[in-house]
Amino acid sequence: MAARTARPSLYISVDIEADGPIPGPYSMISFGAAVAGRQDGASYTAADPERDTFYRELRPISAEYVPAALAVSGLDRDRLASEGAEPAAAMAEFRAWVREVSAGAQPVMCGYPASFDWTFLYWYLMRFGGDSPFGHSGCLDMKTLYATKAGVPLRAAVKGRMPRELLSRRPHTHHALDDAIEQADLMSNLMLWTPPGGTAE
């Protein structure tokens, strides 16, 4: 029996801003997504990360927040309470967008680091709609990807130690869409990178 051919992967860079360390007690107050590229077998094709994007600011789901965490985003919580999107509506729109841009491929969320952003994103997808277009494990951590390719410990996988050619030239602004686009550049650069002494694909 012939082996089943895996579908291509469509990598979507996601960045979230939150007002605390965990979802539930605290809120995801904004998130942005940008298509980074597509992998078909060993072949990776980078996308223009500004072409296919998604961004929403969300109404907080609780009264609790950590002032220092909120300050990172620069968003006004009172404004979000009155003008932010309802989480259920925003997640429904996001699911539809992911399925549209990933038609014919398996969508994979990628983040730097993915652990924090995935925790909030997956929780919100399941809490507000009960469905994730990425499945329960469709995420890729760029820190792990770099550590594996560079042959360094995970704690050494920081942007300050990466070769400059891997880093995006875009600023890191803590605006979720800006940062998702910036991280999409990093994702594609990592996927196409052959480390010194490595072997080209």
Distance of CA 94 to the CA centre of its chain: 13
Cis peptide before 113 (omega within 30 of 0): yes
Q: Tell me which amino acid residue 79 is.
A: R
Catalytic residue among 136, 172, 174, 175: 174
Sign of CA dihedral 171, 174, 178, 179: positive
Q: How many CB atoms lie under 10 A from the CB of residue 137?
A: 9
How far apart (Å, rounded) are the C-alpha atoms in residues 103 and 73?
A: 32
Rounded to whole angstroms, the Cα distance separating 78 from 201 reads 51
Tell me the angle at which helices 114-127 and 87-101 cross, rounded to the nearest 10 degrees: 110
Q: Kindly report the CA angle at 105 between 4 and 186, in degrees rounded to 5?
A: 120
- The tokens describing 68, both together, are 């220092």
Distance CA 15, CA 188 (A): 16
| Active-site annotation holds for 174 | yes
Q: Which residues are catalytic?
A: 174
